[in-house]
Structure 1
Amino acid sequence: MDGIAVAPYGPKWMANRKFFYSAMRTMGLGKRGIEKCVIDEVPYIVEELEKLCSSDELFEPSSVFDPAVLNVLAYFTFGNRYSYQDEKFKELIHINNEFFQKAKFLNQPEFFLVTLIPGLHKYWLPQCFRKIHKFVKAEIKHHRQHLDPQNPRDYIDCYLNELNQTSDQSELSELGLEMSIMDLFQAGTETTATTLRWAVLYMVNNPHIQENVQSEIDNVLGFDQLPKYEDRTRMPYCEATVLEVQRMASITPFGLLHCSEEDQKLGGYHIPKHTCIMPSYHTIHFDPKFWKNPNEFDPCNFIDPNGKVGTRDAFMPFGGGLRICVGMNIAKQELFLFFVAILQKFTLQLPDDVKSLDDEPIPGMTLAPKPFRV
């Protein structure tokens, strides 16, 4: 198995992750470059929401967040920004969502049957990602046919250039490219879009917090100035609110499977070599030893006595260690900039006949809120 997320620890995994960061720099997609991609998407989000407001339609968050988040990754990966009405783009969103629907029991005990029974994954897994794999392979083929080695347009071009410059494909390979892209889309779209849906839910269920967020936005940005990622240093309450959304939602309750490379002793327990280890981030995020009133939504969990956003050791929304999420910097900017841009222009309210939204998540690969409209 190749890729940058779930591949086994070893030379292939390390080479693909190293190349990912190298390609980001090659394309000028450091933090500033990512920010531009995200900010460029903001007017389209606002436009879609204004259409809904003018027609008095209720807002279903996925209809806006899914294409917005996917567009940022599509620009980085495919070199394209798609119209929300583009049929090819709609199909990409559909097949990506379909994967998560069919993989909804991945964080449940039954999933281990897939890994324990020899050959079962050959029948189950392709049903989940065959369509998106086909889409990715078609994009790579198209890029190969139109490749200009002197002017790489995106991640695929950079990777193909690297493959063309070496005959040794023991570490980087076309399969590695395919799996890396699938890792990015499957890990980087659903997670961020779902977190934004939780943000909407927590804002309508906690209108006093929404008012505090909007007050800070008004004081720092006003109504017309687009937010920048650096503005978070002047907007501690907004940043803390986004962090609290991530903690309360804990959309990835368990981390990626790890494996002990050798026998270890930890906390008095013997962990044999080749033991599967899965961190429980949900447990960490709700541990009363680290959080005062962990079941209450409170942005002040992240604000220190000086009024600044402080770091918390018991906060791991992107995992940790060598397998920390490679798309972390992209996701951080999307969450802050999209969240602030929406609340700068709109007030989120419950429908007249609803007192509060159900905050009990749907179990699955990610913990998503039940479908709702506002």
Structure 2
Amino acid sequence: MLGSPQLLFYVACFVLTETKVANINRHEARKFPDGMLFGAATASYQVEGAWNKDGKSENIWDTLTHREPCVIAECHNGDVADNSYHLYKRDVEMMRELGLDFYRFSLSWSRILPTSFPDKINEKGVEYYNNLIDEMLKYNIQPMVTLYHWDLPQKLQDMGGWTNPHIVDWFTDYSRVVFELFGDRVKYWFTINEPRELCYQGYGSASLAPLFKISGYADYICSKNLLVAHAKVYHMYNNEFRPAQGGTIGIVLSMAFYEPESEEHAEAAEDLIQFEWGVYANPIFSKTGDFPQVMKEKVAAKSKAQGFPRSRLPEFTPEEIELVKGSSDFLAINHYTSRLVYRNESVYGYHSSP
């Protein structure tokens, strides 16, 4: 979706209420219930533009789209995009026209920290986000901020990106700077948007930057490092910033629903759920933590059959399991589609259709 500039609409805090439709007109019946918030969401690379302006350094999408100009549909890139970096006031004006309660946007790591590290903070980048946040609050539109939406600084990617365990420290250091800069006004935080897409599509299937195709290995390493990094940032916010800033923080998972084609394939559908998003939900939200048991068993068995000396799925230490478990104030879901599932001729394979 990074190639698409349009706003993505989100609904939060849905409240079910009894409605006596017969007693109200059709327009009243279509109104959002009290307690429902209406908003929109974007990613920094989608909308900001100004890819090399005012001290911003390259991220992985800048590098990829300049190296392979047509990797995005119709040969688009984010060099200019919606030009939100210069047109943020018009963006907020459109939010007012739409009647939004909130706007979820992500921060560009390489715009705030051009060296990738906190040794240098880019004042122009900070000024842009301060202006956007203040303009929104002026009209009572709540900023909801995603710390990371797929645009890693290229320098960090050159050092292994999300497959390097040091990403835990890099992401924590970056997040601390962000909380210090904007946490007095931002009360809704999301650490990472859509881990599955980040790890599987970025490192496993070569469909998102950095465009690696090392499925069943690099994507698993990415998943573990991402979860530990998320948890470190969660606890840092909880211990160091929440007492004074009073915000809330969590993670956003993409969750397709997999319906078995028949009862015969119920196990296949459940396995696919665990491999697709249970890999991120189970470590954070289950009582036991850790990767899903079925995933650990199947990857270990397949790895042994393939001649690997150990499972391709990395293990959490007991301390890491406890660190990750419960590390979110809420479960945020991006849901796009559901699919029918049946198991194919391979015990480890699945077929699905919309």
Instruction: Judge same fold: TM > 0.5, yes or no.
Output: no
Kindly indicate which of the two structures has a greater share of residues assigned to strand.
2
Task: Provide the TM-score with structure 2 as the length reference.
Answer: 0.29
Q: Looking at both structures, which has the greater relative contact order when contacts are Cα pairs under 8 Å and sequence separation is at least 6?
A: 1
Kindly indicate which of the two structures has a greater share of residues assigned to helix.
1
Task: Provide the TM-score with structure 1 as the length reference.
Answer: 0.28
